[in-house]
């Protein structure tokens, strides 16, 4: 189902697209920012929404928390809002102090994407498209991006593709805030998290990675077995970020009950709802949502699990390369498997 969701300040029409059947998993996605406004499952007292959302377009246009949006051209932070490539320094537009966050101001999360294809029914499909012009917040070359979002059975899948005219860093991700209790007033840190990660990226000032990998074993960052997401304030990195706002490096091919590409599991003891995150990305940013209390005092709480390239990779030679060469095809995916 496609319906109107309002008009932006610039006069562009925004549509909301519902994917999935009325008696199963459903996702509501906006053409503004590709925002996952609702992700719901049926329950004994009606549908239970598992992500945080806002009421209208105006709220999303001024949203400082990136609630539910598609993120690009580069998710997370690039230190100093610049990088050097092939001897040339590329200056980006900063939007978090001296750094660039989530692609800069009015980036992909603030754009109305093209609705390129839609298929309703139990196996629903939505394709959104965006043209990111040369010089977009400083990034070189025009980049054509598509985001294919599908709901099939109990799975929500997002597949990104992109192709550019110039060599450019690319790391595309999604930014929903999960509260699987189905009640945003239930504290999100009551959820249980597991991550397939033996190392995380410690950060310095501005939450820019220091460039090293630190072992999680025996620390507040060890989620190799499920545990509450409540921060354990016995690690200097918790104080550095005010909670969890760190990139977890995914281990290599480790099969198991969740499959070889599983990255994380999240569950709510309050509702019995759980999800498994699968992805081909090298890392997942775990954000505990600690900024929401000041940004939205009455909205409730949620946590983010963002599959992505390593933050600040264009400035970190030891990190996996995140440069998309001109004419090459970028292709990444993530899948959320729900159980309720």
* Residue 71 backbone phi and psi in degrees, to 5: -120, 135
Please give the Cα distance from 28 to 290 (Å, whole number). Answer: 25
Please give the Cα distance from 89 to 230 (Å, whole number). Answer: 40
- Residue closest to 235 by CA, chosen among 252, 209, 207, 216: 216
Which of the following is catalytic: 175, 199, 246, 278?
A: 175
Which of the following is catalytic: 102, 199, 278, 306?
A: 306
Which distant-in-sequence residues (6+ apart) come within 8 Å of 57 by Cβ?
A: 5, 6, 7, 8, 14, 32
73 upstream amide cis, omega within 30 of 0: yes
- Residue closest to 49 by CA, chosen among 59, 57, 60, 41: 41
* Residue 102 annotated among the catalytic residues of the structure: no
136 labeled binding residue:
no
* Residue 235 annotated among the catalytic residues of the structure: no
245 labeled binding residue:
yes
85 labeled binding residue:
no
233 labeled binding residue:
no
Return the bridge partners of 299, or none. none
175 labeled binding residue:
yes
In contact, 61 and 9? CB cutoff 8 Å: yes
76 labeled binding residue:
yes
In contact, 145 and 129? CB cutoff 8 Å: yes
DSSP string across 269-289: TTT--EEEEEESSSEEEEE--
The angle at the Cα of 315, spanning 311 to 320, to the nearest 5 degrees, equals 60
End-to-end CA distance of the chain: 24
- Residue closest to 268 by CA, chosen among 321, 202, 320, 190: 190
In contact, 137 and 104? CB cutoff 8 Å: yes
Q: Residue 168 is encoded by which pair of tokens? A: 């450019």
Q: What are the catalytic residues?
A: 175, 306
Residues of each annotated binding site for beta-D-galactose: 76-77, 175-177, 245
Residues of each annotated binding site: 76-77, 175-177, 245
């Amino acid at each position: 189902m496609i319906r109107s969701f309002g008009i932006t300040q610039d006069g562009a029409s925004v549509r909301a697209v519902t994917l999935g059947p009325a008696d199963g998993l459903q996702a509501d996605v906006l053409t503004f920012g590709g925002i996952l406004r609702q992700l719901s499952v049926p329950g004994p007292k009606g549908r239970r929404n598992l992500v945080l959302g806002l009421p209208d377009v105006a709220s999303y246009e001024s949203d400082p928390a990136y609630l539910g949006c598609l993120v690009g051209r580069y998710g997370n932070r690039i230190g100093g809002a610049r990088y050097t490539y092939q001897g040339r320094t590329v200056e980006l537009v900063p939007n978090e102090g001296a750094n660039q966050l989530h692609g800069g101001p009015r980036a992909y999360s603030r754009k109305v994407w093209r609705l390129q294809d839609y298929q309703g029914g139990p196996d629903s499909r939505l394709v959104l498209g965006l043209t990111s012009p040369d010089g977009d917040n400083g990034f070189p070359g025009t980049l054509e991006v598509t985001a294919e979002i599908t709901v099939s059975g109990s799975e929500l899948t997002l597949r990104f593709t992109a192709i550019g005219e110039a060599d450019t860093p690319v790391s595309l991700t999604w930014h929903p805030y999960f509260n699987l209790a189905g009640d945003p007033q239930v504290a999100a840190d009551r959820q249980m998290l597991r991550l397939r990660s033996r190392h995380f990226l410690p950060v310095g000032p501005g939450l820019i990675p220091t460039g090293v990998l630190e072992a999680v074993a025996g620390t507040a960052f060890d989620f190799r077995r499920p545990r509450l997401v409540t921060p354990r304030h016995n690690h200097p990195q918790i104080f550095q970020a005010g909670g969890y706002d760190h990139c977890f490096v995914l281990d290599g091919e480790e099969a198991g009950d969740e499959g070889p590409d599983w990255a994380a599991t999240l569950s709510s003891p309050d509702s019995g709802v759980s999800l498994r995150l699968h992805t081909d990305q090298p890392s997942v940013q775990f954000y505990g949502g600690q900024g929401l209390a000041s940004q939205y005092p009455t909205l409730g709480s949620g946590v983010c699990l963002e599959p992505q390239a390593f933050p600040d990779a264009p400035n970190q030679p030891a990190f996996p390369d995140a440069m998309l060469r001109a004419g090459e095809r970028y292709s990444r995916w993530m899948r959320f498997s729900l159980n309720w």
